[in-house]
Structure 1
Amino acid sequence: MDEEIYEDIVIVGAGISGLTTALGLHRLGLRSLVLESSECLKFTGYALTTWPNAWRALDAVGVGDLLRKNSILTQGFKVVSSGSIPLGAEQSHDLLLFNFESRCIKRKDLLETLESQLPHGTIRYSSKAVSIEETQTGNFKLLHLADGSLVKTKVLIGCDGGNSMVAKWLGLDDPVSTGRSAIRGLANYNNPDHGHGFDPKFHVYSTLCVHFGFVPCDENSLYWFCNFSPSFHRYNEENQDPLSMIKFVGSQLRDAPPNISNIVERTELHCICYTPLRLKFPWNVLLGRNFVKNNVCVVGDAFHPMTPAIGQGGGSSLEDSIVLARCLGKALATSNFEQEYDDEYIRVEKGLRMYVKERRWRILSLLTAAYIVGFVQHSGNKVISFLRKRFLSKNLVKITARMGDFDCGDLSTIPQKMRI
């Protein structure tokens, strides 16, 4: 064994949920250690749509205004649903009528901003967690790392994504395949005079078994995605070559106006990725009992992976982080420094269970909405396709907007004297 480390609170994963959880705890005076398997922050996915719920969470940890400086306000949806992209009824929906704040922010900006607010040394890179061991009393968890190091902790929080090692240890069901995949990219228009020239709206184009969309991050960059069925399109899922992905998406946009197809063509090869879409069914959350085991819990995609149909993967993770930091902070807040250690251990578990209890119904509603919207968006059924074109697109926008109008609360006032 090369090294043994002790930290009161250990977070596995330096993604959105991991860094936000660490920052929320830091704002409450609680130190944590974040273990990240990579050598640096990872920006796969490139950007994410943020709704009012996400901005309320970002404001709660004090980074909202920092991120607003480098993004533009999304003002609505522009939806085209047809057999071929330029045809069919185009529908526009103005988000400003809902008094919404929605923006598309780059993951790089988000993660680097969160990292910049954390104390030096909070994140330990090149630290891949491979297994978890309980001490005899169960009061501590021993985390074995790939380099032979051992990390001992009183609280273990899994923010390690859809393939979460912590979730597997808890005994949670693996996410299941939707039968669909996403190719995503970031297109840069380095023209200071004109930029990309698109309206600051969420542009969506739905064709048979393909859902393509894009949204400006700022005046010079666009985040785009293409959701599709690999089996229907005979797409080789093992092919991760960026050029082949660009060619494939371009073939789905062959009837689109030149300025649309040009978005994909000008995407740099290091700014494109392929992701199979997986999810956790709503009933898994409704009936699940293993989201907490004494002093271990999960957050974000490790808790509830969902499809991108309503754009709430990142926002729901931010909500989780705020609620967990608040519940754990309240559970650990005490002015009595003479309490027995075992009582402290009980309070940790109680705080984690408070977090799951508060989040369960919100996550259930998000998963259900994402499941329904995704089904309608991607269905090849002729009846559903007809209804989607003529009637349903406006209602899908309303569902998406409604799911984003949520307030998870702030970190609230916690007594200054805290210990763990």
Structure 2
Amino acid sequence: MQGSAVVLGAGIAGLATARGLLRAGWTVHVLERSPGLPGTGTALGMWPEAMHALDRLGVGDEVRATSVEQRGGRLLRPDGTVIARLDLGRPVRLVPRPALLKALAAAIPPGVIAWSTPVTDHGELPAADVVVAAEGVHSPTRTALFGTAPRALGTVAFRGTVPGPADGVTETWGPGRLFGITPHDAGNTNWFASIRADLLPPETSPRSAVQLLRELYGDWHAEVRRVLDALEDTPIDRRTLLDVAPPPSYVSGRTALLGDAAHGMAPNLGRGACEALLDATALVEALTAAPDVAGALRRYDDARRRPATRTVRLARLANTVSTAQHFLPVRNTVMAAASGLSRLG
């Protein structure tokens, strides 16, 4: 089947869907409120199934060329001692968000994406067989269709990059907060901090993000302190972490929800970008294989809603456990035992 689609949002899910449908001979319009692709962003984990999706979209090799492969990591205490060594079992590629978006957008013809075009009235959308709502966690389309608003996880994230290579992947867990370090690319370090919201001063506090992070993590191990020492004059992204309660369906009429609009999740499992790519390729395959739009959207919903919902729930649990404030020795013992069992398996 071929037809026409309007894609709301030029993030990972929206660009991947647009690229896939264009390659399948569809007519596509993309409406994006931002003026263009972002020039900054932290590293995203691409699991093998996400890389397979990128291969099907024709950009796998380009993404591999801008990524760093990792196969494991270490879970640490604030003093740097090891809680657990994590064997991922499969290679994961870390790719900077701007590089991924650039790769997805590269072959989209000029004029397909309408930048600086926020959608305020769905009644004024271009005529199309399918509307793809990929507007992110605050998706007005999802709210209008199902009344599902984002929900706070009780944590706040700070993220950025600093110069210098990272020594592998580490995540350090302390009381009510964590600090993660990964490679961003061969010469830069990606970092992220997640903190229980009730441990933070109000956002109106005169303390800068750098001051606050140094207060919270300044006595942690040397690799964390290396990042803290390099924070001056680097962009720091601060945001309240949210996820989305599973909606009853990812489709309504001719509209399909994708990516964070469908299943915004805590970042702790590193699966958000992967799930968005899996959504996109599943929707493209359904729309090109099914004889009608209604059947294609049912097929997409059947394929994606259950596994994505499970990942949302697991990510929420991981966010809670990793930033726990009590029973930390018990938590760490359980994590060490679980990692040992995974190695034996």
Q: Same fold (TM over 0.5)?
A: yes
Residue 278 (structure 1) aligns with: 242
User: Is the counterpart of residue 106 in structure 1 residue 96 in structure 2?
Assistant: yes
CA distance 1:296–1:371, shift in 2 (3 Å) = same
Whichever of the two has the greater Rg, that structure is 1
Residue 121 (structure 1) aligns with: 111
Given candidates 86, 92, 100, the residue that maps to 1:93 is 86
User: Is the counterpart of residue 223 in structure 1 residue 190 in structure 2?
Assistant: yes
**Counterpart of 2:308 in 1: which secondary structure?**
helix
Residue 274 (structure 2) aligns with: 315
**Counterpart of 2:84 in 1: which secondary structure?**
strand
Deviation for aligned residue 1:15: 0.4
How many angstroms apart in 2 are the aligned matches of 1:324 and 1:71? 26
Question: Could you list the per-position Cα deviations for residues 6-41 of structure 1 after superposition, in whole angstroms to 9, with x for gaps in the alignment?
Answer: x92110111010101111112212231111111111
Deviation for aligned residue 1:88: 4.4
**Counterpart of 2:73 in 1: which secondary structure?**
strand
Question: Could you list the per-position Cα deviations for residues 116-138 of structure 1 after superposition, in whole angstroms to 9, with x for gaps in the alignment?
Answer: 122222211111101212xxxxx
Deviation for aligned residue 1:269: 4.2
1:288-327 equivalences under 5 Å are 288-289=248-249, 291-327=250-286
CA distance 1:270–1:253, shift in 2 (3 Å) = closer
Residue 237 (structure 1) aligns with: 203
1:86 maps to amino acid: D
Question: Could you list the per-position Cα deviations for residues 57-97 of structure 1 after superposition, in whole angstroms to 9, with x for gaps in the alignment?
Answer: 1111111111111222113111113xxx11544432344xx
**Counterpart of 2:193 in 1: which secondary structure?**
strand
CA distance 1:234–1:256, shift in 2 (3 Å) = closer
Contact 1:93 / 1:394 at 8 angstroms: preserved in 2?
A: no
**Counterpart of 2:290 in 1: which secondary structure?**
helix
How many angstroms apart in 1 are the aligned matches of 2:100 and 2:157? 21
How many angstroms apart in 2 are the aligned matches of 1:376 and 1:229? 11
Contact 2:5 / 2:131 at 8 angstroms: preserved in 1?
A: yes
What is the TM-score normalised by the length of structure 2?
A: 0.91
CA distance 1:366–1:268, shift in 2 (3 Å) = same
Would you say how many aligned residue pairs link Structure 1 and Structure 2? 341
Residue 37 (structure 1) aligns with: 33
Identity between Structure 1 and Structure 2 (%): 27
Given candidates 351, 355, 362, the residue that maps to 2:307 is 362
1:366 maps to amino acid: T
Contact 1:12 / 1:34 at 8 angstroms: preserved in 2?
A: yes
How many angstroms apart in 2 are the aligned matches of 1:329 and 1:271? 42
How many angstroms apart in 2 are the aligned matches of 1:328 and 1:156? 12
Given candidates 129, 141, 144, the residue that maps to 1:166 is 141
1:245-264 equivalences under 5 Å are 245-264=209-228
- Structure 1 unaligned blocks of 5 or more: 1-6, 134-141, 144-150, 190-195, 333-346, 403-420
- Structure 2 unaligned blocks of 5 or more: none
How many angstroms apart in 2 are the aligned matches of 1:279 and 1:393? 27
